[in-house]
Amino acid sequence: MSVKKELEQALKDAMRSKDDLRKSTLRQALTAVKFAEVDKKGELDDPAVLAILQKEVKSRNESIEDARKARRDDLVSAAEAEIAILEEYLPQPLSEAQLQAIVDEAIAEVGATHPGDIGKVMQAVMPKVQGRADGGQVSQLVRQKLQSQ
């Protein structure tokens, strides 16, 4: 079953069980998916849907930071609960060691030797880690590896 179908089914289940938090969180995620489909003018594949879910999680993490600065613990706990719901549909994140192995493999694969090759390495790495690692984290690791060579 596709990720989008899983989300739709989970939304129906949340509506039946009257779980308002889950219902609203899943609705927001599905709305983001629908907007992306309208922009693309077609169905999204699973990696694209997972990328949208990651963006939703990232958005909520930013909201948590803002809520902490404002000392709004109620907003922090609500955003954390939404993140927990969204993470149920994301694949398990890669460990640091797994990510380093993928980056090392990609560097060898494209023959990267200097920091100017970051783009080539990123192009090789991102499809392998889609939905399981943050792009910023990957970029930072690639940059560190290429500068130390």
- Give me the residue label for tokens 């640091």: 96
* pLDDT at 84 (0 to 100): 95
Q: What is the mean pLDDT of residues 42-57?
A: 89
* 3-state secondary structure at position 110: helix
In the chain, the percentage of residues whose pLDDT exceeds 70 is: 100
Give this prediction's pTM.
0.75
Model confidence pLDDT, tens digit, residues 89-143: 988 888 888 988 999 898 888 887 888 888 888 888 888 887 788 788 888 888 8
Average pLDDT of the residues in 44-62: 89
| Helix intervals (H) in the chain | 3-17, 20-40, 46-69, 73-87, 96-110, 118-129, 135-147
Long-range contacts of range 56-64, CB-CB < 8 Å, 24 or more positions apart?
56/28, 56/29, 56/32, 56/86, 57/83, 57/86, 57/87, 57/90, 58/134, 60/86
81: left (phi over 0), alpha (psi -120 to 50) or beta: alpha
Confidence of residue 13 (pLDDT cuts 50, 70, 90): very high
Q: pLDDT tens, 18-43?
A: 999 999 999 999 999 999 999 989 99
Domains of the chain: 3-87 (1.10.1510.10), 96-147 (1.10.10.410)
pLDDT band of residue 12 (cuts 50, 70, 90) is very high
What is the DSSP code (8-state) at residue 94? P
> Residue 148: pLDDT above 80?
no
Answer yes or no: is pLDDT of 58 > 80: yes
> At which residue do the structure tokens 């995620």 appear?
29
Residue bearing tokens 């930072």: 140
**pLDDT grade, residue 46 (50/70/90)?**
confident
Alpha-carbon span 126 to 40, nearest angstrom = 20
Rounded Cα distance between 69 and 77, Å, is: 14
